[in-house]
A = this chain, B = another copy of it.
Amino acid sequence: MNCLEERIVKDGIVREGNVLKVDSFLNHQMDIELFDEMGKEWKKRFAGKNINKILTIEASGIGIACIAAQHFGVPVVFAKKAKSINLEGEMYVAEVESFTHKCKNQVIVSKKFLNPEDHVLIIDDFLANGCALQGLIQIVQASGATVEGIGIAIEKGFQAGGRMIRNLGFHIESLAIVEAMDSETGTITFREQ
C-alpha cells in the first residue's frame, strides 16, 4: 500500500451509497505533507513526460495540484465552476454534472491560460463517473493543447469513469483505486497496481 491508501484505511470513512469521506486529510482539512508525497509519486509515474502546466478544478483539486506543481516546476490553472464578473474575455466552457452535488455546472477556463503549445497534466481529487474530468479534457482539447496525463488521488474503480477515459487512450495515474467499499464493516478494497 502507498501512503494515500494507508491514510484512506486509517482515516477514510465509508458511508452508504458508495460515499467515501476523506475530509479529514484530502478535501476539507488538507494534509500538506501527504500532498507532497502524492506529488512526488505523480512526478515518478509521469517521468519523461513533457509537462509545462497543471490544470485542475475548484475547489478540492486546487491544493493537491499546487503542491504537486512544485515537483514539476510548472504553474497551475484551475477551472472555475461559475461565471464570475472578474473573468471577462473569451473562455473555454464545458458542461459537467456533479455526482456529489447532484447538479450541472459550467466549467470555464480563460483562453489566455491554455494554448496549442501547452502540455497539460490534469490533476483532481476524485474520479468516479468521470464527468468533471471529461469537461477538463474537452477544455484542453478545445484550446489545441495536449493532455500529457491525468493524475487522480482516489478513483472509484467500480464506477465507469476511469475505464471509459483510459479506453479513449488517456494515461491516468490514480494513486488509490477503490474496487469495493462496505459501509457496514468499513472495509475498503484497493485494486492492485
Q: How large is the interface on A (under 10, 10 to 19, 20 to 34, 35 or more residues)?
A: 35 or more
- Asked whether, in the complex, the Cβ of A85 is within 8 Å of the Cβ of B62, the reply is no
Are A75 and B28 in contact, CB atoms less than 8 angstroms apart? Answer: no
Chain B nearest CB from A51 CB (Å) reads: 13
Q: Name A77's closest neighbour in chain B (CB-CB).
A: B29
Query: Can you tell how many copies of this chain the complex includes?
Result: 2
Measured in the bound complex, the distance between the Cα atoms of B24 and A88 in whole Å is: 13
Q: Nearest Cβ in chain B — how far from A30, in angstroms?
A: 5
Of all chain B residues, the one with the shortest Cβ separation from A86 is B100
Give, as a whole number of angstroms, the nearest-CB distance from A189 to chain B. 21
Does A50 reach chain B (CB closer than 8 Å)?
Answer: no
How far is B32's CA from A35's CA once the two chains are assembled, in angstroms?
15
* Interface assignment of A66: CB less than 8 Å from any CB of chain B: yes
